[in-house]
Amino acid sequence: MKRFVGLATGVLALCAIVLADNALLINGAGATFPYPIYSKWFDVYHTKNPNFQFNYQSVGSGAGIKQVTEGTVDFGATDGPMNDDQLKAYQDKHNGVGILHFPTVLGADVPTYNISGVTGALNFTPDALAGIFLGKVTKWNDPAIAGTNKGVSLPSADIVVVHRSDGSGTTYIWTDYLSKVSEEWKSKVSKGTSVNWPVGLGGKGNEGVTGLVKQTPNSIGYVELIYAVQNNIPYGSVKNSSGNFVKADLASVTAAAAGAAKSMPDDFRVSITDAPGKTAYPISSFTWLLIPQKFQDAGKRDAIKDFLKWMLSEGQGSVEALSYAKLPKEVVEKEKKAINSIQ
């Protein structure tokens, strides 16, 4: 009996310690594409506002959309904007209340590879990329690749394609681009966060794909720019619609968004892949936070609104260090107004 009482007291004491609730926890989940900058932002924001903890789980855009629709997280994140069916599904589940897209940064999908002896940037044409991911270009020294890379000695090894195994906005961006530049891709595979890949291995998250490419010789994958940079793996240039081979960087990604900045729709859903412009990087994209239009919890709503305002002003200052491009001024202004519509 004594032992039982002792145990019970211990358990209750533990509960008391554990139940002490000091900060407001706001849960979000979604895209791995912007995870490096989001984790940095939430960390800095928490230091400035210790009462708020933004817990962001990098599980992929597909899961972000799903979980915010189910209501199991407070906000989502995706690089593939929700389509009309998904928006309607959200509204149906939430009594007609909608969900808003808020662009946060500009980023780029880069083709990253692991070929022994090749440390520089290979030039890829749209046909080469489509061919590789369709499984039709199977060797690294195929003319489709070798033709635009004279002077680089490419091995006759088989290409190991790496793609995403989870529902991914990064995949959406990549397949959106391939659908625009390849009729065959469009009809066979088309675009989406989770597609029926003709070939390749699946890695979980941008992290998983980078990890697989890093460890697998003769592999190629598509990842957000910062993942290639942070892990020191080479990535290639892609031929844009004006015929120039452009490598992804702040300038080329910003150039890709130039046109969209002016004609941004009210719901902020837009695709900037294969954008016109001599210096534009063709596989660039916005990435969005998915914020419900109405919040039950006033505390969470105010915290999120405050974070969004901070993100659009101070937050933008830290994006370039992680190789993301800042949002165009016009978009920032438009978003500031949109924040007010969150109830």
Partner 1 sequence: MSNGRLRWRKFISNFMLAMTGVCAFVSVLVLFFILGYLLFNGGTSINWDFFTKLPKPVGETGGGMANAIVGSGKILLLASLMGVPIGFLGGIYLAEFSGKGMASVVRYAADLLNGVPSIVIGIFAYSLVVLPFKHFSALAGAFALGIMMIPITLRSTEEFLKSVPRMLREGAMALGASKWKTIATVIVPAAYRGIMTAILLALARVAGETAPLLFTAFGNRFESHGWSQPTATLPVMIYTYAVSPYDDWHRQAWAAGLVLLGLVLIINILARTILSRGIAVPRS
Partner 2 sequence: MATTTTALKGAGPVTGSRSFFARLRDGDEIARLVTLLFATTVVLITAALVWELWVNSALPRQKFGFHFFVTSVWDPIMEQFGALPFIYGTMVTSAVALLIAVPLGIGAAIFLAELAPPRISDTLQFFIDLLAAVPSVIYGLLGVFIVVPLMRTVIYPALNKPFGYLPIFKGPSYGVGFMTAGIVLAIMVIPYIISVSREVLLSVPRDQREAALALGSTRWESTWKVVVPFAKTGIMGSIFLALARALGETMAVTMVIGNTPKIAASLFAPGYSIAAVIANEFTEATGDLYLQSLIALGLVLFLLTFILNGLARLLIVVTTQKGSEVGG
- The site for partner 2 (CB under 8 A) is made up of 59-60, 62-67, 69, 86, 89, 158, 160, 165-167, 190, 192-197, 200-204, 212, 215-217, 219
CB 165, min distance to partner 2, A = 4
Q: Which of 166/224 has CB closer to partner 2? A: 166
What's the token pair of residue 246?
Answer: 């452009």
* Residues found near partner 1 in the complex (CB under 8 A): 11, 14, 18-23, 25, 27, 29, 35-36, 39-40, 42-43, 46, 53-58, 70-73, 203-205, 207-208, 210-211, 214, 226-227, 230-231, 322
In angstroms, give the least distance from the CB of 339 to partner 2: 26
**Are 251 and 106 in contact, with CB atoms under 8 Å apart?**
no
Give whichever of 55 and 341 is closer to partner 1, judged by the CB atom: 55
CA separation, residue 183 to residues 98, 105, 231, 284, 294 (Å): 34, 30, 33, 20, 41
Interacting partner of 56 out of partner 2, partner 1, none (Cβ under 5 to 8 A depending on kind): partner 1
Closest approach, Cβ 26 to partner 1, in A, equals 11
- Give the list of residues 6+ apart from residue 260 with CB closer than 8 angstroms, or none: 270, 272, 275, 286
CB 193, min distance to partner 2, A: 8
Binds 293: which of partner 2, partner 1, none (CB < 5-8 Å by kind): none
Residue 62: contacted member of partner 2, partner 1, none (CB under 5 to 8 Å, by partner type):
partner 2
Please compute Rg for the chain using Cα positions: 22
Pairing, β 284-292 against β 75-78: antiparallel
Using the CB atoms, write b or e for 204-214: b if 16+ within 10 Å: bbbbbbbbbbb
Q: Which does 158 bind (CB under 5 to 8 A by kind): partner 1, partner 2, none?
A: partner 2
Residues contacting 340, CB < 8 A, separation 6+: none
CB-wise, 135 or 265, nearer to partner 2?
135
Task: Yes or no: say if 289 and 338 are a contact pair by the CB < 8 Å rule.
Answer: no
